[in-house]
Structure 1
Amino acid sequence: MDIDRKAYGHRAPERPELSRLADLPEEDKATLVRSGIDPDAQVSGSFMLTDSSTVHCDCSDPNVEVLPMQTAMDLHDGLKEYSWKLMEKESDQVDGGYFIRSRPGATVTYPLQTCLYLAEDRSAQDVHNIVIAEEGSTLNILSGCASAPGVRSGLHVGISEIYVKKGATLSFTMVHNWAEEMAVRPKTKIMVEEGGTFISNYICLKPAKDLVMYPTATLNGQGAVATFNSVFLSTPGSTIDSGSRVILKAPDTRAEVVSRAVSMGGKIYARGHLVGEVPGVKAHLECDGLILSDSGLIHAIPELEARCNDLEMSHEAAVGKIAQEEIEYLMARGVSEEDARSLIIKGFLSLDIMGLPDELKRDMEETIQKAGSEGAM
């Protein structure tokens, strides 16, 4: 879907800096927690961009570097090795972003938190991020993208270039919590070197009106691994077009792409694309959809592309409704019909992701409970 940028012409005022995320107004803190960001959690570092202003950037672990993008560009000679090397530069309009780098061989004990926040209604936010997991390091990032209370519409374009060096492990969990009229365009490319591991967890249970994303990981070194896990819930009026692509370019590389999609009346296009370029690679793609409303749409689009022989790639795709016998089985054990539907949806979405705040988990439970209630209508 094309975006009319003129519809998002409001310019946000400059936002004041905060020494702590805990100093945010209570309603903003509550929104952050529902987006996977806990202002009071013990973390290695944190970053927050509100509209086009870096309002907070802090790092307590010497094993990792967290900086606003412009600061990193100034300190590191323009990041010539990394900036716009994976992604083609489409525009000079960048409102901000973050630079994160773990030190070689370091294990960053606590997660890093990043938040991209839209607080001005009918405005646009253009972000450029760079993440580098240096050789042999381990890094865990929790990223929350959200709109503030009172914001109904806006545009978010988030461009991320991610580098996983030799033997490094990067786990990246993203939670989207957008207003109902938002247009969202995350664009991400990942390069994984020999023996590196990239793990992506993506959650979107509060869908925007129009979300399009298709992150691509290239496994460029022997034994590199990429895993994508995604869960979506689409409500009436929302369109989610999302998927993951993995290009396996080196021997013994492995990839797994798993998506779970639930439509309560919205449209979901669940894509997945595996490209095997050399012998000896293994990859699996799984797309499952659950429709709770006759007005909903789920279009699963799994693709396997083999460019040589002697490789293993497979896919599974299934779309359907909640089986009546599953509901009856739970009801026979004293569970109400509404709770039975909620339990089935919860199990289907597989939301057991480590590191999420308890309040976010409760918010997810409420969303799922609502989906079970409306699915029974």
Structure 2
Amino acid sequence: MSNVDLSDFKFDGLKQDALTDLTALSQEDKDQLLMAGVVSDLSTRSATYLQMDQSSVHCKSMDENVEIMDIKEAIEKYDGLTEYLWTLVDKDKDEYTRSAYDNLHGGYFIRVKAGAKIKDPIQSCLMLKSENVGQNVHNLVIIEEGAEAHIITGCSVAHGTKAGAHLGISEFFVEKDASLTFTMVHNWGEDVAVRPRSAGVVKEGGKFLSNYVLMKPVKDLQMYPSITMAGENSVARFNSVIVATEGSHLDMGNRVIMDAPNTRCEIIARTISTGGTIINRGHIGAHHVPSKGHLECQGLILGEGRIWAIPELDGTLEGVELSHEASVGKIAQEEIEYLMARGMDEDEATSTIVRGFLNTDIMGLPEKLQVAIDRQIEELQSSDAM
């Protein structure tokens, strides 16, 4: 486990002015946001939150059933949010959680009201605008009973920014019969250190579906979100598509605790190293019956690079059903030859296989986000690593 020296970054004094209209952003910043799944045209979003460096610069809801605001405002409005804040993540877990607790810059508070079925995605973005900025955020998401929502959260650097540190605490509460699809797209820079600390709880009949996409360079990323399935008939599913370019070190994975009967979960990760290091962790703990969980870690090494796949299954009762598949390797030569026999050259065949491996169609992403991800895959395929 690698450490980040927080003294290398500026955690104070980097404020940004408020933005009344995201279309006023520079074209370069709009492009960066789009590659993180965030659009400046808000007509297709039900609510939007944007933080730059250490300031909330834009926050607006277009749906009366979606409450969105800066976390510091929510703390004041709701008497400290003591029922939720820091109940799933320990503020003393490590130096990164303590930094976020002691010197909170912002983060988003999202509450979807009971019974509401939110048609358009809610979007949020946490952007590093300045060089060597340190950003402490705490995000809190509450999906009330019977509600449904899709949150797209993008994390990005501004055009030209290379170095920074993002320390992000996120806590998710999916209430009875509620459903949350949470899509995270990381568009960091080559010298950015990232330390998310996330946890969630899913109540009876609830669903938590997580999509995670990382295809851009990042220096050092360490994340291991944990979801507790606390209610009967709850469902959790994680889908991840990850690329580690040369110089990137990624220590990441997902953890699910099945703490109620009649629960189901699935963790699927597809990883590619084009020169970087990936430690791909997965953990499913099943402590009630019936319960059923599946863990799948598939990795491809293209050229140089390193991938560790570390699957863990923990069943404590007779009758739990847990399974896993893990593989790390290269593109099979027979697959390339099969496509070459049908008219492709070797590079085209390789690109076709990689595109299929990185397929995000199953995530059910909005069209503009899918287009942005397809563009990232094209950039990957045209790079020297391919």
Q: TM-score, normalised by structure 2?
A: 0.94
Q: Contact 2:206–2:234 at 8 Å: present in 1 too?
A: yes
Please give the alpha-carbon distance, in whole angstroms, between the structure 1 residues aligned to 2:11 and 2:62: 35
Q: Does 1:332 align with 2:334?
A: no
Instruction: Kindly provide the amino acid, as one letter, of the partner of residue 62 in structure 2.
Output: S
Instruction: Kindly provide the amino acid, as one letter, of the partner of residue 291 in structure 1.
Output: I
Q: Which runs of no fewer than 5 residues in structure 2 stay unpaired?
A: 93-97
Name 1:355's counterpart in structure 2.
366
Name 2:379's counterpart in structure 1.
367
Please give the alpha-carbon distance, in whole angstroms, between the structure 2 residues aligned to 1:82 and 1:192: 13
Please give the alpha-carbon distance, in whole angstroms, between the structure 2 residues aligned to 1:356 and 1:297: 33
Q: Contact 1:205–1:367 at 8 Å: present in 2 too?
A: no
Please give the alpha-carbon distance, in whole angstroms, between the structure 2 residues aligned to 1:364 and 1:272: 25
The alpha carbon displacement at 1:224 in A equals 0.7
Name 1:309's counterpart in structure 2.
318
* SS at 2:87 equivalent: coil
Q: How many residues align?
A: 373
Please give the alpha-carbon distance, in whole angstroms, between the structure 2 residues aligned to 1:310 and 1:279: 6
The alpha carbon displacement at 1:361 in A equals 3.1
Query: 1:1-377 counterparts in 2 under 5 A?
Result: 1-9=2-10, 11-41=12-42, 42-90=44-92, 91=98, 92-293=102-303, 295-352=304-361, 353=363, 354-355=365-366, 357=368, 359-370=371-382, 374-375=385-386
Please give the alpha-carbon distance, in whole angstroms, between the structure 2 residues aligned to 1:45 and 1:84: 24
Please give the alpha-carbon distance, in whole angstroms, between the structure 2 residues aligned to 1:164 and 1:11: 34
Please give the alpha-carbon distance, in whole angstroms, between the structure 2 residues aligned to 1:166 and 1:348: 35
* SS at 1:207 equivalent: coil
Q: Contact 2:284–2:295 at 8 Å: present in 1 too?
A: yes
The alpha carbon displacement at 1:337 in A equals 1.6
Please give the alpha-carbon distance, in whole angstroms, between the structure 2 residues aligned to 1:335 and 1:218: 47
* SS at 1:27 equivalent: helix
Instruction: Kindly provide the amino acid, as one letter, of the partner of residue 350 in structure 2.
Output: R
* SS at 2:165 equivalent: strand
Instruction: Kindly provide the amino acid, as one letter, of the partner of residue 65 in structure 2.
Output: N
Instruction: Kindly provide the amino acid, as one letter, of the partner of residue 320 in structure 2.
Output: L
* RMSD of aligned Cα (Å): 1.3
Q: Contact 1:130–1:162 at 8 Å: present in 2 too?
A: yes
Q: Contact 1:248–1:276 at 8 Å: present in 2 too?
A: yes
Change (3 A) 1:32 1:130: same
Please give the alpha-carbon distance, in whole angstroms, between the structure 1 residues aligned to 2:209 and 2:374: 24
Please give the alpha-carbon distance, in whole angstroms, between the structure 1 residues aligned to 2:241 and 2:374: 16
The alpha carbon displacement at 1:78 in A equals 1.2
Greater Cα shift, 80-89 or 326-335: 326-335
Please give the alpha-carbon distance, in whole angstroms, between the structure 2 residues aligned to 1:224 and 1:60: 30
* SS at 1:176 equivalent: strand
Residue deviations 1:352-373 (CA, integer Å, cap 9, x gap): 23115265134223233225x6
Instruction: Kindly provide the amino acid, as one letter, of the partner of residue 373 in structure 2.
Output: K
Greater Cα shift, 40-49 or 251-260: 40-49
Please give the alpha-carbon distance, in whole angstroms, between the structure 1 residues aligned to 2:367 and 2:52: 21
Please give the alpha-carbon distance, in whole angstroms, between the structure 2 residues aligned to 1:313 and 1:356: 34
Instruction: Kindly provide the amino acid, as one letter, of the partner of residue 86 in structure 1.
Output: L
The alpha carbon displacement at 1:330 in A equals 1.2
* SS at 1:191 equivalent: strand
The alpha carbon displacement at 1:214 in A equals 0.2
The alpha carbon displacement at 1:335 in A equals 1.8
Please give the alpha-carbon distance, in whole angstroms, between the structure 1 residues aligned to 2:241 and 2:371: 18
Please give the alpha-carbon distance, in whole angstroms, between the structure 1 residues aligned to 2:275 and 2:50: 33
Please give the alpha-carbon distance, in whole angstroms, between the structure 2 residues aligned to 1:151 and 1:239: 19
Q: Which runs of no fewer than 5 residues in structure 1 stay unpaired?
A: none
Q: Contact 1:179–1:207 at 8 Å: present in 2 too?
A: yes
* SS at 1:363 equivalent: helix
Q: Contact 2:266–2:294 at 8 Å: present in 1 too?
A: yes
Instruction: Kindly provide the amino acid, as one letter, of the partner of residue 52 in structure 2.
Output: T
Q: Contact 1:271–1:302 at 8 Å: present in 2 too?
A: yes
Residue deviations 1:18-52 (CA, integer Å, cap 9, x gap): 11222211111110001111111410000000011
The alpha carbon displacement at 1:162 in A equals 0.3
- The sequence identity of aligned pairs, in percent, is 46
* SS at 1:242 equivalent: strand
Q: Contact 2:11–2:135 at 8 Å: present in 1 too?
A: no
Greater Cα shift, 152-161 or 87-96: 87-96
The alpha carbon displacement at 1:109 in A equals 0.9
